């Protein structure tokens, strides 16, 4: 009888264990969703943890253009940000990009790529909203963006030394995302 009672106890405990397991899973999903690392509806960024696709883009005023080789040759991490003057969320994102060093407590150069934009529009946009970029390239036909798997602007990619994409987000950067995700991602790559 005692073994049968023991078995019944185990059986009666199993729903709780299943629910608990599901609960932990849901908690991790929510955690990942609020941090941006988990999105059950997102399409994977094809370049994550891979070397940056090769490209060589011309300059966009008021900056200098750059190429994949230059990104790979860097000794420090850099944030590559796709933007466009016609994109409202890019306007929204600008303050966060400008305040990036103060929020992170360390410098992080931001290299911009103007996506499918007219050069005069893009430079006018940067004059009005402020220019957070160290270097700016123009991707007029959007081919580079396709190679990077950009699904819309803005999108940001954290490039670790050696030119590997370490972190990615689609959509505008916010201060919360900078402190909760970008910061930890930077620490993870040990830079």
Selected binder of other proteins within 72, 98, 109, 116 (CB under 8 A):
116
For the beta sheet containing 155-160, the strands, ordered from the edge strand earlier in sequence to the opposite edge, are: 133-139, 110-115, 78-83, 155-160, 164-170
| Least distance (Å) between residue 169 CB and other proteins | 12
> Can residue 149 be called a binding residue for other proteins (CB under 8 A)?
yes
- Binding segment for other proteins among 18-26, 56-64, 69-77, 106-114 (CB under 8 A)? 18-26
Q: Which is nearer to other proteins, 74 or 140 (CB)?
A: 140
| Least distance (Å) between residue 76 CB and other proteins | 27
Q: Which is nearer to other proteins, 34 or 179 (CB)?
A: 34
> CA-CA distances (angstroms) from residue 2 to 8, 15, 16, 45, 149?
10, 21, 22, 56, 62
Question: Which has the closest alpha carbon to 181: 148, 158, 155?
Answer: 158
Interface pattern 83-102 for other proteins (x via CB under 8 A)? -xxxxxx-xx----------
Interface pattern 22-51 for other proteins (x via CB under 8 A)? xx-xxxxxx-xxx---x-xxxxx-x-----
Reported for 168-172, long-range contacts at CB under 8 A and 24+ positions apart, including other chains, are 168/45, 168/47, 168/48, 169/36, 170/42, 170/45, 171/89, 172/89, 172/90, 172/92, 172/93, 172/96
> Can residue 107 be called a binding residue for other proteins (CB under 8 A)?
no
Are 174 and 113 in contact, with CB atoms under 8 Å apart?
no
> Can residue 146 be called a binding residue for other proteins (CB under 8 A)?
yes
Cβ neighbors of 52 (< 8 A, separation 6 or more) are 68, 71, 72, 80, 148, 157, 159, 163, 164, 165
- Residues in contact with other proteins, counted by CB under 8 A, come to a total of 59
Residues lying near other proteins in the complex (CB under 8 A) are found at: 5, 8-9, 11-13, 15-16, 19-20, 22-23, 25-30, 32-34, 38, 40-44, 46, 53, 84-89, 91-92, 115-118, 121, 124-125, 128-129, 140-143, 146-149, 151-152, 171-172, 174
């Amino acid at each position: 009888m005692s073994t049968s009672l023991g078995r019944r106890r185990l059986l009666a405990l199993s729903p709780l264990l299943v629910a608990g397991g599901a609960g932990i899973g849901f908690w991790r999903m929510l955690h990942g969703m609020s941090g941006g690392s988990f999105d059950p509806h997102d399409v994977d960024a094809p370049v994550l943890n891979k070397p940056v696709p090769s490209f060589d883009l011309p300059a966009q005023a008021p900056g200098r253009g750059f190429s994949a080789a230059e990104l790979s040759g860097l000794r420090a991490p850099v944030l590559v940000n796709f933007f466009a003057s016609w994109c409202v969320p890019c306007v929204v994102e600008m303050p966060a990009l400008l305040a990036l060093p103060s929020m992170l407590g360390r410098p992080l150069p931001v290299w911009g790529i103007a996506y499918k934009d007219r050069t005069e529009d893009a430079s006018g946009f940067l004059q009005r909203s402020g220019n957070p970029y160290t270097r700016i390239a123009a991707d007029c036909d959007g081919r580079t963006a396709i190679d990077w798997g950009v699904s819309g602007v803005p999108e940001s990619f954290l490039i670790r030394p050696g030119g590997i994409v370490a972190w990615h987000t689609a959509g505008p950067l916010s201060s919360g995302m900078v402190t909760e995700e970008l910061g930890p991602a930077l620490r993870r790559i040990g830079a």
